[in-house]
Amino acid sequence: MTPERKKLARLNRLEKLRAIAKQTAATEAAQAESTLAQLQNLAERTRALAANYAARRDAPDGAALHQVGRFVSGLRTITSTTDGETLRARAIADAKQQALVEAERRRAAIEDRAAAQARVVASKAQVPALGAKRKNGTELD
Protein backbone atom coordinates (compact mmCIF):
# COMPACT_ATOMS: atom_id res chain seq x y z
CA MET A 1 0.00 0.00 0.00
CA THR A 2 1.39 3.37 -1.01
CA PRO A 3 1.84 6.18 1.50
CA GLU A 4 -0.92 8.14 -0.25
CA ARG A 5 -3.36 5.25 0.15
CA LYS A 6 -2.36 4.80 3.81
CA LYS A 7 -3.01 8.48 4.42
CA LEU A 8 -6.39 8.21 2.67
CA ALA A 9 -7.34 5.18 4.77
CA ARG A 10 -6.33 7.01 7.96
CA LEU A 11 -8.37 10.07 6.95
CA ASN A 12 -11.39 7.87 6.18
CA ARG A 13 -11.14 6.25 9.64
CA LEU A 14 -10.81 9.67 11.24
CA GLU A 15 -13.86 10.87 9.31
CA LYS A 16 -15.89 7.96 10.68
CA LEU A 17 -14.77 8.81 14.22
CA ARG A 18 -15.73 12.46 13.72
CA ALA A 19 -19.13 11.39 12.39
CA ILE A 20 -19.68 9.33 15.54
CA ALA A 21 -18.61 12.30 17.67
CA LYS A 22 -21.06 14.51 15.77
CA GLN A 23 -23.87 12.01 16.34
CA THR A 24 -23.07 11.93 20.05
CA ALA A 25 -23.06 15.73 20.19
CA ALA A 26 -26.40 15.82 18.37
CA THR A 27 -27.91 13.38 20.87
CA GLU A 28 -26.63 15.40 23.83
CA ALA A 29 -27.92 18.64 22.28
CA ALA A 30 -31.35 17.09 21.73
CA GLN A 31 -31.49 15.89 25.33
CA ALA A 32 -30.47 19.32 26.61
CA GLU A 33 -33.16 20.98 24.48
CA SER A 34 -35.73 18.50 25.76
CA THR A 35 -34.79 19.22 29.37
CA LEU A 36 -35.00 22.95 28.70
CA ALA A 37 -38.46 22.59 27.16
CA GLN A 38 -39.69 20.51 30.11
CA LEU A 39 -38.41 23.07 32.61
CA GLN A 40 -39.98 25.94 30.70
CA ASN A 41 -43.28 24.07 30.59
CA LEU A 42 -43.09 23.31 34.31
CA ALA A 43 -42.33 26.94 35.19
CA GLU A 44 -45.23 28.16 33.05
CA ARG A 45 -47.69 25.68 34.51
CA THR A 46 -46.59 26.45 38.08
CA ARG A 47 -46.84 30.19 37.42
CA ALA A 48 -50.36 29.77 36.01
CA LEU A 49 -51.38 27.61 38.97
CA ALA A 50 -50.09 30.21 41.42
CA ALA A 51 -51.95 32.98 39.58
CA ASN A 52 -55.19 30.99 39.61
CA TYR A 53 -54.98 30.30 43.35
CA ALA A 54 -53.97 33.89 44.13
CA ALA A 55 -57.07 35.15 42.28
CA ARG A 56 -59.44 33.01 44.33
CA ARG A 57 -61.72 34.95 46.65
CA ASP A 58 -63.89 32.15 47.99
CA ALA A 59 -62.12 31.51 51.31
CA PRO A 60 -64.73 30.91 54.05
CA ASP A 61 -62.52 32.25 56.86
CA GLY A 62 -59.13 33.74 57.67
CA ALA A 63 -57.49 30.35 58.24
CA ALA A 64 -58.43 29.15 54.75
CA LEU A 65 -57.24 32.44 53.28
CA HIS A 66 -53.96 32.07 55.16
CA GLN A 67 -53.60 28.48 53.88
CA VAL A 68 -54.17 29.57 50.27
CA GLY A 69 -51.64 32.38 50.75
CA ARG A 70 -49.02 29.90 52.00
CA PHE A 71 -49.78 27.55 49.11
CA VAL A 72 -49.42 30.37 46.56
CA SER A 73 -46.18 31.44 48.22
CA GLY A 74 -44.86 27.89 47.92
CA LEU A 75 -45.84 27.77 44.26
CA ARG A 76 -44.05 31.06 43.63
CA THR A 77 -40.93 29.66 45.32
CA ILE A 78 -41.11 26.60 43.09
CA THR A 79 -41.55 28.88 40.06
CA SER A 80 -38.53 30.95 41.07
CA THR A 81 -36.41 27.84 41.55
CA THR A 82 -37.59 26.42 38.23
CA ASP A 83 -36.77 29.71 36.50
CA GLY A 84 -33.20 29.46 37.82
CA GLU A 85 -32.95 25.86 36.65
CA THR A 86 -34.32 26.95 33.27
CA LEU A 87 -31.55 29.53 32.93
CA ARG A 88 -28.94 26.88 33.71
CA ALA A 89 -30.59 24.45 31.29
CA ARG A 90 -30.60 27.13 28.58
CA ALA A 91 -26.86 27.72 29.11
CA ILE A 92 -26.23 23.97 28.93
CA ALA A 93 -28.38 23.62 25.80
CA ASP A 94 -26.54 26.52 24.15
CA ALA A 95 -23.19 24.92 25.01
CA LYS A 96 -24.35 21.57 23.60
CA GLN A 97 -25.51 23.29 20.40
CA GLN A 98 -22.11 24.96 20.11
CA ALA A 99 -20.41 21.58 20.64
CA LEU A 100 -22.58 20.15 17.87
CA VAL A 101 -21.56 22.95 15.50
CA GLU A 102 -17.91 22.37 16.37
CA ALA A 103 -18.23 18.61 15.85
CA GLU A 104 -19.78 19.18 12.41
CA ARG A 105 -17.01 21.62 11.51
CA ARG A 106 -14.36 19.06 12.48
CA ARG A 107 -16.13 16.31 10.54
CA ALA A 108 -16.46 18.49 7.45
CA ALA A 109 -12.78 19.49 7.62
CA ILE A 110 -11.71 15.84 7.69
CA GLU A 111 -14.15 15.04 4.89
CA ASP A 112 -12.57 17.78 2.76
CA ARG A 113 -9.06 16.51 3.52
CA ALA A 114 -10.09 12.93 2.68
CA ALA A 115 -11.64 14.06 -0.62
CA ALA A 116 -8.47 15.95 -1.53
CA GLN A 117 -6.35 12.92 -0.66
CA ALA A 118 -8.65 10.70 -2.76
CA ARG A 119 -8.09 13.03 -5.70
CA VAL A 120 -4.32 12.75 -5.18
CA VAL A 121 -4.54 8.95 -5.13
CA ALA A 122 -6.77 8.94 -8.21
CA SER A 123 -4.47 11.27 -10.13
CA LYS A 124 -1.45 9.05 -9.40
CA ALA A 125 -3.39 6.00 -10.56
CA GLN A 126 -4.11 7.50 -14.00
CA VAL A 127 -1.88 6.46 -16.87
CA PRO A 128 -0.16 9.52 -18.31
CA ALA A 129 -1.01 10.46 -21.87
CA LEU A 130 1.86 9.72 -24.25
CA GLY A 131 1.03 12.43 -26.70
CA ALA A 132 -1.32 13.14 -29.55
CA LYS A 133 -2.09 10.38 -32.00
CA ARG A 134 -0.57 10.98 -35.38
CA LYS A 135 -2.75 10.86 -38.45
CA ASN A 136 -1.92 8.45 -41.14
CA GLY A 137 -2.21 9.44 -44.73
CA THR A 138 -2.85 12.85 -46.15
CA GLU A 139 -5.47 15.44 -45.53
CA LEU A 140 -7.19 14.43 -48.74
CA ASP A 141 -8.17 11.01 -47.32
Whole-number Å distance between alpha carbons of 75 and 37: 19
Q: Does residue 123 surpass a pLDDT of 90?
A: no
pLDDT(141) > 70: no
pTM (two decimals)? 0.73
DSSP, collapsed to helix, strand or coil, labels residue 56 as coil
pLDDT tens by residue, 85-114: 999 999 999 999 999 999 999 999 999 999
Show the CA angle centred on residue 113, arms to residues 110 and 118, nearest 5°.
125
Question: Can you give the pLDDT at residue 126?
Answer: 75
Q: With contact defined as beta carbons under 8 Å apart, do 26 and 100 qualify?
A: yes
The pLDDT > 90 percentage for the chain reads 70
Radius of gyration over every alpha carbon of the chain, rounded to an integer in angstroms: 33
**Model confidence pLDDT, tens digit, residues 48-83:** 999 998 888 888 888 988 999 999 999 999 999 999
Q: With bands split at pLDDT 50, 70 and 90, how would you rate the model's confidence at 137?
A: low
